[in-house]
Structure 1
């Protein structure tokens, strides 16, 4: 959805209505996650809700919504009567909410776009199901301290604001269920909360050629990429044009300062490419230790040969780390793809990061059975 905002804002500012289709819930092996979106505008279609399986049907529904302005919640998948026409060939089921976007239906869009551009967390809560049709499509925009708009009652606004800020803090998008007037134990009203959290960070330590390839891959995957090295001769923006930030500092000192400032969290990935113990040991001793707290990066990997790995482990043991702490380290870094070039190695590292985050095992799908995508319940 983030990549659709410039198109959405451009049409909004020009006074051109668009239809926004959003995946709000999925079951089984659906190809997209909640929050995936497709935008239908006067100049074409952007984005995707299913990777191609039901785009045609969603487009037709979007045309109806553009015409009459009435939001629609539709379910697609193998359980539909029209499964052979618009069903998901992958076997999944998804709910898609389609709404008309213009200055009248979404007056606070510019606030959302501005916050996303400034990397400030913000969320949009939209009523997608309600026994009163007029309540469907009502919207509340919220951040950590303020709100814009309303979902139709103060009680509903209070409940959704409280629950929504909890989801926003973790960068999650989800459907929330309430009674018609926001009763927490009730049923009848569904609200989709779409979070726009700042992009997760990839911190690459070591200003080498492999770091340049890793930075390119990180940007492709949607990370905000920082390259850090204590050597000013090598840590330059010219050498790493794909990085958002190039920092000249001792890595352990820089990471500690970022942690203390709240800019390292459970979504951060740390890639250590220096394979130089004067840089590696103090950094890894700090981030792997039990005293790091709740802000430990989700992935910590270090490059090096098997010999370098064994030497690194010995250094970490001498520095006071135990076996359970050292097992948090992915070393040697990456999956066994047979990679040799910096670009191939970056793919190997990215593959391991994705597998670690999504619960994959790195096997060839042709040699496995069962669901391809993570099962949604």
Structure 2
């Protein structure tokens, strides 16, 4: 729902919300993808990239007309697969319910303020009155509940577990929120702040990489000690520009397991102290630009500063995949491709050489 929040909070009329809550095989959109239909018929968002939108639109109109919230399944196994099946051969489950303007406003405000938020929606239960109810958690505090205190307490904890990893997923609990029971099925949508990408070195390659980083959803910072290069004119799209010695700035920043650090400075007096500091963080990815020769020389300098071989193994150096490009834009694409592959568990090999699912599912459900 994140992609359509701005539209939803601008609507001054009732709307139905359809959310992907389950996918199998090569489904085109991930769990959490959403489409909304207003009472006047306006549509925003997508649940399948076009394959089943017409059928989901009709389901939304039915809910707007008084039908109960429900899960609809679309895929090649349906009797009417030719009419509304997924052309890619996958299957999706879509939960359709009436939208809640108060819920949307709370989530949108949290996103604006970069506060972690989660929405937990009951998508299945023996008690049909529960189906469609939801709660909102912002920064670990319950903001809107289902009306069942016991259930709310259990879901706040479970939603927090998924939110900590920035992931969506389905959990099962008892009617009073008990763990290890399956009376109630709940879909949790996480609205974690965007992961951070910090680029060190205000060079042309950094400008191209910053643009790609913003495009794929990172909160991008460019840091360099040289104010003449670290200007908004050269980096119009980044979220933050910082003029400081890179290693000193890194000490002041909250780096977590989703943070990406890209060292493009090309200067030992910047690189070495910065990399030593970066290796002390839990960053998901530490990429360092350089030739084979400069990479070897840098490794020797880092060893003199006490960096072990095990620590050096954390570095992606030289950074990027072998795409054969050389321009700043092509190099940035190479680096971003490696970051995406690292984040998603991809191989970096051509899909034509592989078998199995194209889209990977990365959902961790706390136990």
Shorter-chain TM band: over 0.9
Residues 1:300 and 2:286 are matched in the alignment? yes
Task: State the match for 1:151 in structure 2.
Answer: 146
Residue-by-residue CA offset, 1:42-74 (whole Å, 9 max, x unaligned): 464322222222222212211212222521211
CA contact (8 A) 2:250 2:277 kept: no
Task: State the match for 2:9 in structure 1.
Answer: 9
Q: 1: CA distance between counterparts of 2:353 and 2:181?
A: 46
> SS at 2:315's partner residue?
coil
Residues 1:273 and 2:245 are matched in the alignment? no
Residue-by-residue CA offset, 1:318-339 (whole Å, 9 max, x unaligned): 2111211111111111111111
Residues 1:330 and 2:316 are matched in the alignment? yes
* 1:81-160 matches, cutoff 5 A: 81-101=79-99, 105-160=100-155
Please tell me the root mean square deviation across aligned C-alpha atoms, in Å. Answer: 1.8
Q: 1: CA distance between counterparts of 2:137 and 2:151?
A: 13
Q: TM-score, normalised by structure 2?
A: 0.93
CA contact (8 A) 1:34 1:173 kept: yes
Q: 1: CA distance between counterparts of 2:144 and 2:348?
A: 45
User: Structure 1 residues 257, 376: closer, same or farther in 2, change over 3 A?
Assistant: closer
Gap runs ≥5 in structure 1: none
Runs of 4+ in 1 over 3 A off after TM superposition: 41-44
Q: 1: CA distance between counterparts of 2:145 and 2:42?
A: 31
CA contact (8 A) 2:9 2:101 kept: no
> SS at 2:102's partner residue?
coil
Residue-by-residue CA offset, 1:257-306 (whole Å, 9 max, x unaligned): 10xxxx31111111111111111111112222xxx2xx521111111111
In the TM superposition, residue 166 of structure 1 has moved relative to its aligned partner by: 2.0
Q: 2: CA distance between counterparts of 1:140 and 1:321?
A: 47
How many aligned positions are there?
A: 362
Q: 2: CA distance between counterparts of 1:108 and 1:85?
A: 34
User: Structure 1 residues 122, 10: closer, same or farther in 2, change over 3 A?
Assistant: same
* 1:217-232 matches, cutoff 5 A: 217-232=212-227
Task: State the match for 1:365 in structure 2.
Answer: 351
Of 284, 293, 298, which aligns to 2:275?
284
Q: TM-score, normalised by structure 1?
A: 0.91
Q: 2: CA distance between counterparts of 1:285 and 1:348?
A: 24
Q: 1: CA distance between counterparts of 2:362 and 2:282?
A: 27
CA contact (8 A) 2:212 2:332 kept: yes
> SS at 2:293's partner residue?
helix
Residues 1:58 and 2:56 are matched in the alignment? yes
Q: Which piece of structure 1 moves more, 211-220 or 157-166?
A: 157-166
Of 74, 77, 94, which aligns to 1:76?
74
CA contact (8 A) 2:133 2:146 kept: yes
Task: State the match for 1:38 in structure 2.
Answer: 35
> SS at 2:316's partner residue?
coil
Gap runs ≥5 in structure 2: none
In the TM superposition, residue 189 of structure 1 has moved relative to its aligned partner by: 1.0
CA contact (8 A) 1:217 1:346 kept: yes
CA contact (8 A) 2:260 2:283 kept: yes
Q: 2: CA distance between counterparts of 1:173 and 1:375?
A: 10
CA contact (8 A) 1:69 1:100 kept: no
Q: 2: CA distance between counterparts of 1:108 and 1:8?
A: 10
Q: 2: CA distance between counterparts of 1:67 and 1:265?
A: 46
Of 11, 17, 20, which aligns to 1:20?
17
